[in-house]
Amino acid sequence: MVEFLSFRQSEATQEPAVTVESFTGQSNSTAVRIEAGEDARELLPYLDRLSLVEVNFPAYGDGRGYSAARILREAGYQGELRAVGDVLVDQLVAMRRCGFDTFRPDKALDDAAVERALNRYADVYQKTVDGRTPVWAKRRPESVNG
């Protein structure tokens, strides 16, 4: 069973994440945790000093964390972006596409199911922040739009 899943080259950040409020307040922490409903853009002035952003999913159906992740990656955040909480195997692909690169689900995931999920779809329709080439660009290799 998988309790922690990482797609990063480097070691996972061990520092405990602090709340957005205490992070932006005064702390010199480099790890922060965003709750659903908190504005990821509050972190944009601090991206350089951050090494970990944890995004909490209180329930798998609460999709606000996907926007939070993409906003951070679109702004150039390169550090660890970790999905925590009610993270199920069926959401891994979408989360990867939105820029998450580590996962600490409340309930450990089945290794084989993770493997199957990650390899299921060879093609994607959208350009996001994960660098995968969307189908529309594959159709016209000479005109890849970014």
Partner 1 sequence: MYRYDSYDQSIVDARVEEFRDQVQRRLAGQLTEDQFKPLRLMNGLYLQLHAYMLRVAIPYGTLNGRQMRKLGEIARKYDKGYGHFTTRTNLQYNWIKLADAPDILAELATVEMHAIQTSGNCIRNISSDQYAGVAADEVADPRPWAELLRQWSTFHPEFTYLPRKFKICVIAAEDDRAAMRLHDIGLKLVSRGGQVGAEVYAGGGMGRTPMVAPLIKDFVPEDEIVPYLEACLRVYNRYGRRDNKYKARIKILVHELGAEEYKRQVEEEFAHMRELGLNPPTEELDRIRPFFANPTYEQGLSDSIDRADPAFALWVDRQVAAHRQPGHAIVNISLKPRGGIPGDASAEQIELVADLAEQYSFDELRVTHAQNLVLPHVKKSDLQTIWRKLDEAGLAEANLDLITDIIACPGLDYCSLANARSIPLAQKLSERFADTGRQKELGELKVKISGCINACGHHHAGHIGVLGVDRKGVENFQLSLGGSGAEDASVGQITGPGFSEDGVVDAIEKVTDLYLAQREEGERFLDTYRRLGMKPFKEAIYG
70 sits near partner 1 (criterion: CB under 8 A): yes
Burial of 131: CB neighbours in 10 Å, binned 0-12, 13-18, 19+: exposed
Place of tokens 């990482």: 6
> How many CB atoms are closer than 10 A to CB 66?
20
> How many CB atoms are closer than 10 A to CB 29?
18
60 sits near partner 1 (criterion: CB under 8 A): yes
Based on CB atoms, which residue is closest to partner 1, 51 or 62?
Answer: 62
Based on CB atoms, which residue is closest to partner 1, 27 or 133?
Answer: 133
Binding mask 4-23 for partner 1 (x = CB under 8 A): --------------------
Q: Which helix (H) or strand (E) holds 146?
A: none
CB of 54 to partner 1, least distance (A): 18
Dist CA 76 CA 19 (whole Å): 21
Binding residues (CB under 8 A) for partner 1: these are 36, 39, 60-64, 66-67, 70, 74, 90-91, 93-95, 97-98, 116, 120-128, 134-140, 143, 145-146
